[in-house]
Amino acid sequence: MGDCLRIEGGRRLSGVVAVEGAKNAALPACVAALLTDEPLSLHRVPQLRDVSTILFTLSDLGKRVVRHGASVVLSSDRPLAAEANAYSVRQMRASFLVLGPLVARLGRAAVPLPGGCAIGERSVGLHLDGLRALGGRVSERGNVVFVEADRLRGASIELPFPSVGATEQILMTAALAAGDTELRNGAIEPEVLDLVGLLEAMGATIEREDRTYRIAGRTELHGADYAVIPDRMEAGTYLLAGAITGGDVTVAGIDAEALRPALDALEALGVSIRSEEDRIAASGKGNRPIRVETAPHPGFPTDLHPPLAALLAVVPGTSVISETVFEHRHTYVDGLRRMGAGIAVDGPRVVITGVERLSGAAVVAPDIRAGAALVLAGLAARGETQVSGLETIDRGYAGLEAKLARLGAAIERREG
């Protein structure tokens, strides 16, 4: 049996919590090191299991990885390998991003089909369609994708859906393709734009107009020194943790605009939001139901859907969250029901009827954000909650229990 979090609910959270670097920005930033032999120095890299997985993947491919706290230096240790480690790629979906950069550098790559959170099909088909458009010859044998190319060439590509992963894959690959690439209907999440900033610091030429990217291919890129953006999902989770306890929590190190859709939802609930420079504070629990629809940025982020659902479970009235990004995002529902939440799933919609108080229970975190939702529910519940499956939560939140404890939560990790 693994570790679990023991939570004694009912304590009002208050105080200030610092935001780490964004996991979803750090992972592609690390992969970008494959595009050059020169050292790439990255800062504000969070201490997360997913980051360790991507660094192991890159080390296995031939990169030298040196980490000092929140800084990582990736440099050339030996010639790059063309085949990614099956175990690490199957642990985390972001590892699939190594495919395009390897083809751009070596003319070939073999990468297993990815794993990660089971929150929907999240097909890699858009990644492969983009690589085909750039001149890659794609084949599959077993559970491994093979791509070969004599020379990648710029292309005109339009995504049917603004996929974050496919956009990042195409941006990195096109940066080393011959000629110009135009990518239409690309993702514009802050983490994607942060990758663009890094690629530009490495010598890439990328222009953007709304969801259209124009990339001028280069024969080579160089090293850079770069700090990734703060984690808006972590920030949003702690603000929601404060709200579910009726507390007053401030997140430090992030601008309010990065969280605008989530802050708008909290204000619609009746939570008081205050922001200045790089600090955002939320106080009160909210007392009115809302309707929210997740969507690609600048819409409400799907990663904050489960933590928001935990809050809505104790808000009077009937609220609705419509999920338009991941069809299996509702993995938190059984756990919240076990704690007494009134939740019904109707296709992509989750209908939540608030109850006065949740009750502590033993629950399992099925994925990163569902795990966060169950922890938040435990903070507000009557009695003791035990959340197991912490290996999933540790993929996305660094020191979660320590930060919540500093805010006043009665929470501890117990070794199983």
User: Which active-site residues does the annotation give?
Assistant: 117
Q: Which two tokens stand for residue 386?
A: 């035990």
- Sign of torsion, CA 352 297 181 82? negative
Q: How far is CA 343 from the centre of its chain?
A: 25
User: Exposed, middle or buried, 41 (CB in 10 Å: 0-12/13-18/19+)?
Assistant: middle
Question: Residue 82 in contact with residue 109, Cβ under 8 Å?
Answer: yes
Q: Which two tokens stand for residue 75?
A: 């440099």
Neighbours of 161 (CB within 10 A): 11
Phi, psi dihedral angles at 143 (to 5 degrees): -110, 25
Q: Which two tokens stand for residue 34?
A: 């494959």
Q: How many residues does the chain have?
A: 416
Crossing angle of helices 190-201/164-174, nearest 10°? 10
Measure the CA–CA gap between 2 and 413, rounded to whole angstroms: 11
Measure the CA–CA gap between 17 and 127, rounded to whole angstroms: 36
Measure the CA–CA gap between 289 and 282, rounded to whole angstroms: 17
Amino acid at 144: V
Measure the CA–CA gap between 101 and 115, rounded to whole angstroms: 19
